[in-house]
Amino acid sequence: MLTVQLDDLTHHKNSVIGHSPWKTISQEMIQAFADATGDHQWIHLDVERARRESPWKSTVAHGFLTASLIPLLNQQVINVRGKSASINYGLNKLRFPAAVKAGAQIRSKMELLDVTRVDEQRTLATYRTTLEIRGGEKPACVAEHLAMYVRS
């Protein structure tokens, strides 16, 4: 994990910050996300039907479940000091190049694209976050993730 002072974050611009540990995407996580969002499509929940009929021969995680793990995974890659809060400010771009099968492992690769001082209290960082699938050729998710840091 990279630990950096907020004022020194700009020194890491245009570089790979690091990778998170691998996280397993369980069928239980997929079920909980389906219940929370109301998206109960069979490709996510019906294990037997997915084995028979889906192109992946397995149930797969919702794309937005995968994207929702970006903050959790990224906080294991970088620790920014000199702030009182980190706000998930949103996404500029979001793509899902490959499905995440139940039981697969993903990790975050973070690259710092930009750092902008918004005002005396706030600094906006733009990261390219790539969620890699262990053993996969394509990533599960690629996003420009925005983090607003509030100075302490």
The CATH T-level fold of domain 2-25+61-151 is: Thiol Ester Dehydrase; Chain A (3.10.129)
* 23-24 vs 105-117, strand pairing mode: antiparallel
Task: Convert the pLDDT of each residue in 85-137 to its tens digit.
Answer: 999 999 999 999 999 999 999 999 999 999 999 999 999 999 999 999 999 99
Structure tokens at 74: 């990224």
pTM given for the model:
0.93
List the chain domain ranges.
2-25+61-151
Write down the number of H helices and E strands in the chain: 5, 8
